[in-house]
Amino acid sequence: MAVVLVTGCSSGLGRAVALRLARRGERVYATMRHAERGKDLHDEAAAEGLDLEVLELDVTSDESVADAVARVLERDGTVDVVVNNAGIAHLGSVELLPDALMRETFETNVFGPLRLVRAVLPIMRARGSGTVVNVSSCAGRVGGLPIHGSYMASKHALSVLSDSLAGEVKPLGIRVVCIEPGFFRTPIFTKSTVPTDADSPYRTLDEAVVQFMFDGVDGGADTDAVAAAVLDAIDHDDGRIHYLVGDDAEAFVAQDRASTDAELQAFYAEVLGVGSAIPTGA
């Protein structure tokens, strides 16, 4: 039985991962910013007799991360696996997205996993084993889509940090994997800010990207399928750090690798249906 801590479990992928792990007999701490939002998850786990505890953890707070990890250590004495799943996505142009929203994106998507990794690594180093799973996105492997730069930049950062961390801790017996899904059905954009200024010089792109994102999420893979990929990556060490999940993730990364900068911009314009709204010159 492994002791597993999962962030962002109030809904979506985190919830699905926590339940899958608990159903196969792991000791799971399903964490979220507001523990009261975990009542349904707690009740479902209790009804099934699962070894799952809902725990409050705000990844943007040093104190909250330290308190949550201390509670896990008090109960179980160790942490075998961490799944850094909590994330947020605000849409908006590089020029007009408020600084506060950009910072919130990076605090949640980059510094959040960093806080938790720094809290658990001493435990894993002392034992000489452990697994860190960072849930990034295929958006962290391709050139930036307009209006989505904040999220994509944060996921690029997380993916690269995963590479660096993997090289640092592999000699210590610790694995790092980076899960990079395409679209999957999650309420992430219901919690996000989207651009609404009718007078914005980027209005055409704003509207096209918002529609593209909502359509993508609505038609994306089920969270259980992505959760299965997370568990498979935990269980099977084939030497990879990065795990693309979904045909769309594979297709977008392949398109990026096969394209020049100008070709990728033209591809995005075509996908978004905005024509010349994106410059396509060299």
pLDDT in the model for residue 205: 95
Q: What percent of the chain has pLDDT over 90?
A: 86
Give 193-240 pLDDT, tens digit per residue: 889 999 999 999 999 999 999 899 888 888 898 899 999 999 999 999
Angle at 28 between CA 25 and CA 29, to 5 degrees: 170
Tokens of 214: 């909502």
Angle at 71 between CA 70 and CA 76, to 5 degrees: 100
For the chain, which domains are there?
A: 3-248+256-275 (3.40.50.720)
Which of 151, 202, 243, 268 is flagged as catalytic?
Answer: 151
pLDDT in the model for residue 282: 35
pLDDT in the model for residue 279: 47
Active site (annotated) includes residue 243:
no
Which residue is listed with tokens 């109960």? 75
Q: Which residues contact 281 (CB under 8 A, 6 or more apart)?
A: 262
Which positions of the chain have pLDDT values less than 70? 276-282
Could you tell me which of 264, 211, 224 has the C-alpha nearest to residue 21? Answer: 224
The torsion region of residue 36 among left (phi > 0), alpha (psi -120 to 50) and beta comes to alpha
Give 3-37 pLDDT, tens digit per residue: 999 999 998 999 999 999 999 999 999 999 999 98
